[in-house]
Amino acid sequence: MADAASQQLVPDDQAESTALNDLGWVGRDRDAPAVRQLREYLKEHNGIKGLEVLRPDEVERAVRLFYRDGFVVVSDALDARQLDFLRGGCDRVIHEMTSRDRTRVGNRGSHRYSFGGASKTGHLMHHPEWAMLLDLPTVTPILTAIFGSDEYISRGGGGDFCLPGAVEYQPLHSDMGERREIPLPNGNRFTFGSFHDPRGILSYRDLPAPYVCCNFLMVDVHETNGATRQIPGTQHSRQPIPALAEEPEWMKLSAVCPASAGSVMIRDVRAWHGGTPNLSDEVRAIPNAEFYAPWFREPMPPSVPRDIYESLSEHGRRVARYIVADPGQTLETGVRDDLGYVPARHRK
Ligand SMILES: [Fe+2]
């Protein structure tokens, strides 16, 4: 069965020559009354009240907040040079992706995109800008403390971005699930998740943090430019995640902001989260690196080319041990023409 969203993709010859922040608001009016009204409302009400933003040296406190809330924000994870470098990588890939999508159908809803989902390897670790995220002096000690060991595992990384004009909320979701097989539009099947307990007793939600995602903020994130909303303390919840129509207003306003560019949001990916509207004039990108606990595995396709791997620190090479290409193996990398698989909840 062909996917409805991918059928609508039309190449955009203008995208490559368009400035990054001018790529949005396609077919949408930034000054429409409903958009103006929502923008004013978010300015007034959006954001977690009293959000704590930590310094990189507050390792113990970071671990405590991470286990309490299912996420923690740490400022200055990237220095000015690293931030600039990663912004450049995002700029390049965002232009590549939008040049395949003139009407900004997106692969996570209109004007909303997953980097990894659009990549042939499922990840962006073949770009040095993303590989840099495998071992950062500011983040490695926090990850080591969260996992209680430096033997944790990189599964790759990608992240997401929303263009200005992403006026809809992304539904709340978890980035993990019980093990299941998902039929793909091309007839193949995709295995998702690590295990399924046929007794119905143990769920992935009962585990200590198995899978941690580090999202790096490329811009100062505020009330109206598409901050991620996180629902604190939901990482172990077995309750059904509310659909948009049932989601209470306080959850919609539980955006992780304000936080400055160069900060990292370290998430237990099971915690309920979703994108919020980007009604601003700038692209909000949050490239990421994703890690498994030393004792956890899911299928991990290779995504780090050999030359990138050789350039990593000793610790970087160790965490990338399961995703490095074999010697002599050439990975097929680049952006998928169909921008990748679109989850059922985003299909029309
Ligand atoms: Fe997500």
Domain ranges, ordered by start, for the chain: 48-328
Is a pLDDT exceeding 80 seen at residue 343? no
pTM value > 0.85: yes
Mean pLDDT of 11-21: 97
Q: How confident is the model at residue 341 (pLDDT cuts 50, 70, 90)?
A: low
pLDDT, position 194: 84
Question: Computed from CA positions of residues 64, 69, 71, 73, in that sequence, does the dihedral angle turn out positive or negative?
Answer: negative
pLDDT, position 183: 86
CA of 294 to the centre of ligand 1 (A): 22
Q: What is the CATH number of domain 48-328?
A: 2.60.120.620
CA of 155 to the centre of ligand 1 (A): 15
Q: How far is CA 139 from CA 57, 96, 248, in A?
A: 9, 29, 33
pLDDT, position 261: 98
Is a pLDDT exceeding 50 seen at residue 1? no
CA of 108 to the centre of ligand 1 (A): 10
CA of 328 to the centre of ligand 1 (A): 34
Mean pLDDT of 92-115: 97
pLDDT digits 0-9 by tens, 246-268:
999 999 999 999 999 999 999 99
Mean pLDDT of 85-99: 98
CA of 170 to the centre of ligand 1 (A): 9
Dihedral in degrees, nearest 10, Cα atoms 53, 59, 61, 65: 70
